[in-house]
Amino acid sequence: MRKAKQKKRGQRTRNRKKIICIGTEGRNKTERTYFSHFNQMNTEYVVHFAKGNDTDPYKIATAVSASIGRPKDREKGDRAFCVFDTDVDPKKQKNIQDARSYCKEQKIEVIYSNPCFEIWYLLHYTYSTRAFNKNEEILSALAKYIQNYQKNQDYFESLLPKMKTAIKNAKRLEQYHAENHHLTEMTRNPSTQIYKIVELFVSDQPN
């Protein structure tokens, strides 16, 4: 009979943290910089990022699957996300839609922002249903609250005290679009689902 393996000296016995695997568009470091901060919080989750530097939604989805494994091979509680911007671009929306069937099959959750990730930042400061025709418009609106705002810079600490406000405002926007029968990513302008990831880390955190 094969002897049971003994635990190595110093080996941890506590349960591993559940993995949140996130795939982002390769040209954007903003999202990775932001989400990496959640690893400093004392929660049951840890953030991993999918390998690769693609901007095509389908390729990002396959990179997530390769990084976290097939659904049946994942540890219980692990979750996978693809984070996309619509960029107010109908072609981009079609690309996101094309990736959805693969994501559904692989149990990867699609998270989009319209027009871009910065709408999530803006919702920390204000609620508005004003539609944006291009990304530059939302960057201009955000600059009223974050002086000299620049993409890829780290604003996590200044946003943290307002995070639950942003979650509330994002859900309020979803309700607004639902009531007005805005059924696609392109018609839900502005909107963001980033809160669905953030809530995993902050729902039990103090205000």
pLDDT in tens, 120-139: 999 999 999 999 999 999 99
What pLDDT is attached to residue 205? 57
Q: Is 53 exposed, middle or buried (0-12, 13-18, 19+ CB in 10 A)?
A: exposed
Name the band, by pLDDT with cuts 50, 70 and 90, for residue 5.
very low
How far is Cα 187 from Cα 29, in angstroms, rounded to an integer?
A: 26
pLDDT in tens, 160-175: 999 999 999 999 999 9
What pLDDT is attached to residue 53? 86
pLDDT in tens, 60-76: 999 999 999 999 999 99
- Residue 6 pLDDT more than 90? no
Q: Which residue has the tokens 């840890």?
A: 46
What pLDDT is attached to residue 27? 73
CA distances from 179 to 93, 176, 182, 188 (A): 22, 5, 8, 11
Domain coordinates in residue numbering, the chain = 18-202
Distance of CA 5 to the CA centre of its chain: 40
